């Protein structure tokens, strides 16, 4: 049981807490009342604000919509005004641009093209929006007039600024300046840079807007004329330079052309003056092959004069194998060769220029048309050379045919560049050079065969035969002709191979030596063909010489004639590359000629038997020592001496007028004959017994005198 005091205290404490709680509850009630009042006030304010906003919105939205409509109307008005200005401007284009179009594009191409652009837009507008309006016709006429002015300006620029390339610059271009340590590229400026840019802009406008391709015809016609004239100018340059100075020239350094032009000889692609050069060597240095570098045997005295004379006649003979080899022919050949090279270089340059001006899909066709005149000119001239060679063959003028060799060689060397330049052109254009090459190969092979036949069948036996038995003109001409072929071995071999002449020479065709092309053979096969051909010519020459030698009544002179010709042939072969070519198919040719030469020497030596037989021991009587000679024996000895003396004098007189041009051979034959005669004469003198009281009447010559007389053989100056 709780004590009363504690219970009383507990109750007071509870009462105090209750009182505090009541106070707190009262405070909360007051706060809630205030909050409700504030909420009511806020709701009232918001309701008032909402009412006012609704009133404001109802007032502003119509104004906003009206303003937006007004802005849209303003924009439409502005666009309408702009369109009206744009449309109206088309109606003023003709008036604004007529003066510019009338005055033309010269000197103000940029402004002119701008005006043409305005006119073109006006044409397009009226065509789309007012096709029946008179304004359309007006701007159309103005556009056509402007286009014609641009075409005229294109033609004018090309005509005024397209210049032919000077021959000197062309020669620099094709020479390569091999003599210079530092090579400089020779640039061709067909049009000034500013003019080129104008031409390019006009051409592009005509293609894109003018819908016109006529300017391409204008372009190729003008450039074709310049190309053709440039090549013809080079040819004329050769003619004039050769007639004045003897050789065309080209400055070695292009950038010094204006100040210090330096003449230099143009490299000759072919050796076509060899006959004239050899003739000069004959007259200046003889034929000893030393100073003049000749490949021929030495000639001296009257024989030298005769050989120079008869070789000169051979060079000028209208019917001889070396006829017509003059400087003019040489110049024409050189000119043609250089014109071919010039065409390749200039055509390459023309194509580079064309690619900047002509649209890509028209470039090949335009280029094909552009080069036709110049190319046709070269081909016609080449065919004329073939035709001239064909006529020359009929006349047996084989020197003219030799001009085909350097030309053909150059055409073959240049063909890869030709093919590259002509890529994309018509097949007829590409086939022109191969056709010319085939024609030249055919006529060259024909010339070679006819020359060989002419050597074999030369009918000249009684006329033009050397009275002194020296080298015949036919021999020297044949050797000179063959020596010409040394410079064109591949060309000549290809000529023979192109005609499949292996069957003619009985040379089997190895499949490895031929390709799929009927005219393509290995160099080894062509070399064998050429070797066989040379052997054929030499064989024909030998047969003809044997026939000609029968003209001489004296067998000894006939032997000297054959000896001289065989020796001439052998020495000529040995001192040139001909011997190597001959050896390809005839290993024993050199030995064979030496045997022939020795046989003729022996034949000649038999002519002295009628002299030495008089004093030969076998033809003398046997003398008994101490026995006096009978009259018959004395008379026999006298006849022997007389026969020897008369025979010696007669042979020396006759053979003194004969000729052996080769000094070595002449000395060798003299010495051998001198030894034979002197030995026999010395033995005869020692074996003779007193047979007369006047021995000086019969013993006219001492042994040494006999030797001196023989030493003067083959020498008219003695």
Print the SS3 string covering 198-226: HHHHHHHHHHHCCCCCHHHHHHHHHHHHH
If 0-12 CB within 10 Å is exposed, 13-18 middle and 19+ buried, where does residue 503 land? exposed
Cβ-proximal residues to 498 (8 Å cutoff; 6+ apart), any chain: 438, 441, 442, 445, 518, 519
With 90 as the cut, is the pLDDT of residue 432 above it? yes
In sequence order, the 6+-apart residues with CB closer than 8 A to the CB of 72 are none
% of the chain with per-residue pLDDT over 70: 78
| Integer Rg of the chain from CA | 55
Q: Using N-to-C axis directions, what is the helix angle for 327-357 and 214-244, rounded to 10°?
A: 150
CB 215 within 8 A of CB 142: no
Query: Which one is predicted more confidently, 431 or 277?
Result: 431
Instruction: Find out whether 700 and 645 touch, Cβ atoms under 8 Å.
Output: yes
Say if residues 528 and 584 touch (Cβ distance below 8 Å): yes
Sign of CA dihedral 631, 637, 638, 640: positive
Average pLDDT over residues 118-146: 84
**Chain centroid offset of residue 434 CA:** 14
Q: Is 630 exposed, middle or buried (0-12, 13-18, 19+ CB in 10 A)?
A: exposed
**Which pLDDT does position 307 carry in this prediction?**
42
> Would you call 166 helix, strand, or coil by DSSP?
coil
How wide is the angle at C-alpha 642 spanned by C-alphas 641 and 647, nearest 5°? 100
Mean pLDDT of the region 129-157: 87
Asked if 104 and 149 count as a contact pair (C-beta separation under 8 A), the reply is yes
34 token code pair: 């205030």
pLDDT tens string 379-411: 999 999 999 999 999 988 888 888 899 999 999
Residue 650: what pLDDT?
93
Q: Report pLDDT digits (tens) over 511-521.
A: 444 443 334 45
| pLDDT reported for residue 328 | 65
> According to the model, what pLDDT value does residue 536 have?
94
pLDDT tens digits along 210-220:
777 788 999 99
- Class of residue 586 by CB neighbours under 10 A (exposed 0-12, middle 13-18, buried 19+): middle
| Tokens found for residue 685 | 């003198």
Query: Residue 277 and residue 370: Cα distance in Å, rounded?
Result: 42
What is the pLDDT, as a whole number, of residue 599? Answer: 96
Ramachandran angles phi, psi of 263, nearest 5°: -75, 140
Q: What is the pLDDT of residue 158?
A: 92
- Token pair recorded at residue 516: 């799929």
Sequence-ordered list of residues with C-beta below 8 angstroms from that of 209, at least 6 positions apart, any chain: 116, 120
Q: Which of 188-192, 338-342, 412-416, 449-453 has the lowest mean pLDDT?
A: 188-192
Enter the DSSP assignment of 249: B
Query: In this predicted structure, what is the pLDDT of residue 439?
Result: 93
Q: Please write the tens of the pLDDT for every residue from 349-379.
A: 999 999 999 998 899 999 999 999 999 999 9
Residue 489 to residues 17, 357, 508, Cα–Cα distance (Å): 146, 45, 20
pLDDT band at 87 (very low <50, low <70, confident <90, very high): low
For the stretch 466-505, pLDDT in tens is 999 999 999 999 999 999 888 888 889 888 887 654 444 4
The total of other beta-carbon atoms located within 10 Å of residue 275's CB is 20
Write down the number of H helices and E strands in the chain. 24, 0
Residue 132's CB is within 10 A of a number of other CB atoms, namely 7
Instruction: Retrieve residue 237's tokens.
Output: 């340059």
Question: 521 - beta bridge partners?
Answer: 514
Q: How far apart are CA 218 and CA 362, in angstroms?
A: 14
The predicted model scores a pTM of 0.71
> 70 — alpha (psi -120 to 50), left (phi > 0) or beta?
alpha
Cα-Cα-Cα-Cα torsion 375, 378, 381, 386, nearest 10 degrees, comes to -100
372 within 8 A of 225, measured Cβ to Cβ: no
Mean per-residue pLDDT of the chain: 80
pLDDT of 188 reads 81
Is the model's pLDDT at 626 over the cut of 60?
Answer: no
Q: Report the alpha-carbon distance of residue 665 to residue 673 in Å, rounded.
A: 12
CA 687 to chain centre: 78
pLDDT interval class at 81 (50, 70, 90): low
Structure-token pair, residue 489: 């071995």
For residues 664 and 522, the model is more confident at: 664
CB neighbour class for 322 (10 Å; exposed up to 12, middle 13-18, buried from 19) = buried
pLDDT of residue 590: 92
């Amino acid at each position: 049981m709780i004590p009363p005091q504690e219970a009383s205290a507990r109750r007071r404490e509870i009462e105090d807490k209750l009182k505090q709680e009541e106070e707190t509850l009262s405070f909360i009630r007051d706060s809630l009342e205030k909050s409700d009042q504030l909420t009511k006030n806020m709701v009232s304010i918001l309701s008032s604000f909402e009412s006012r906003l609704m009133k404001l919105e109802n007032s502003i939205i119509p104004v906003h919509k009206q303003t937006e409509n007004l802005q849209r109307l303003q924009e439409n008005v502005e666009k309408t005004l702009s369109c009206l200005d744009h449309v109206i401007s088309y109606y003023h284009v003709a008036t604004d641009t007529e003066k510019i179009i009338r005055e033309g594009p010269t000197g103000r191409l940029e402004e002119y093209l701008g005006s043409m652009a305005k006119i073109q837009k006006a044409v397009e507008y009226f065509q789309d929006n007012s096709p029946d309006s008179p304004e359309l016709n007006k701007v159309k006429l103005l556009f056509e007039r402007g286009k014609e002015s641009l075409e005229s300006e294109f033609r004018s620029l090309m005509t005024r600024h397209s210049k032919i390339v000077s021959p000197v610059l062309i020669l620099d271009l094709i020479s390569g300046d091999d003599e210079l340590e530092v090579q400089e590229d020779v640039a061709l400026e067909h049009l000034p840079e500013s003019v080129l840019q104008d031409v390019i802009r006009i051409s592009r406008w005509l293609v894109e807007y003018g819908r016109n391709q006529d300017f391409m015809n204008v372009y190729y016609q003008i450039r074709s004329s310049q190309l053709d004239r440039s090549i013809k100018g080079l040819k004329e340059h050769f003619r004039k330079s050769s007639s004045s100075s003897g050789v065309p020239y080209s400055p070695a350094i292009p950038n010094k052309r204006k100040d210090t032009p330096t003449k230099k000889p143009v490299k000759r692609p072919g050796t076509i003056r060899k006959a004239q050069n050899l003739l000069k060597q004959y007259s200046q240095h003889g034929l000893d092959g030393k100073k003049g570098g000749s490949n021929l045997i030495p000639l001296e005295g009257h024989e030298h004069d005769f050989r120079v004379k008869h070789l000169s006649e051979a060079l000028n003979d209208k019917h001889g194998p070396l006829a017509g080899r003059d400087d003019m022919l040489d110049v024409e050949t050189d000119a043609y060769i250089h014109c071919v090279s010039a065409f390749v270089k200039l055509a390459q340059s023309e194509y580079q220029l064309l690619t900047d001006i002509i649209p890509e899909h028209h470039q090949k066709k335009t280029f094909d048309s552009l080069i036709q005149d110049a190319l046709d000119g070269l081909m016609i001239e080449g065919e004329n050379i073939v035709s001239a060679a064909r006529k020359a063959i009929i006349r047996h003028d084989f020197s003219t045919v030799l001009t085909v060799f350097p030309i053909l060689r150059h055409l073959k060397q240049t063909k890869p560049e030709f093919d590259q330049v002509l890529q994309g052109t018509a097949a007829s254009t590409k086939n022109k050079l191969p056709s010319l090459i085939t024609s030249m190969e055919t006529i060259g092979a024909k010339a070679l065969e006819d020359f060989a036949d002419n050597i074999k069948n030369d009918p000249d036996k009684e006329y033009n035969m050397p009275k002194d038995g020296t080298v015949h003109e036919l021999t020297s001409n044949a050797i000179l002709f063959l020596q010409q072929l040394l410079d064109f071995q591949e060309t000549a071999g290809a000529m023979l191979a192109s005609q499949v002449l292996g069957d003619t020479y009985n040379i089997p065709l190895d499949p490895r030596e031929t390709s799929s092309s009927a005219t393509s053979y290995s160099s080894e096969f062509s070399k064998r063909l050429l070797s066989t051909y040379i052997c054929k010519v030499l064989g024909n020459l030998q047969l003809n010489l044997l026939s000609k030698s029968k003209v001489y009544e004296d067998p000894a002179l006939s032997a000297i004639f054959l000896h001289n010709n065989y020796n001439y042939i052998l020495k000529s072969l040995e001192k040139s590359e001909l011997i190597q070519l001959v050896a390809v198919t005839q290993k024993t040719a050199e030995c064979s000629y030496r045997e022939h030469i020795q046989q003729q020497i022996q034949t000649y030596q038999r002519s002295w038997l009628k002299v030495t037989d008089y004093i030969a021991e076998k033809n003398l009587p046997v003398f008994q020592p101490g026995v006096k000679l009978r009259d018959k024996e004395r008379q026999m000895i006298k006849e022997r001496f007389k026969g020897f003396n008369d025979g010696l004098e007669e042979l020396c007189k006759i053979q003194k007028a004969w000729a052996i041009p080769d000094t070595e051979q002449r000395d060798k034959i003299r010495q051998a004959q001198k030894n034979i005669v002197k030995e026999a004469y010395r033995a005869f003198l020692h074996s003779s017994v007193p047979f007369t009281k006047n021995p000086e009447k019969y013993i006219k010559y001492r042994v040494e005198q006999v030797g001196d007389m023989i030493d003067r053989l083959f020498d008219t100056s003695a």
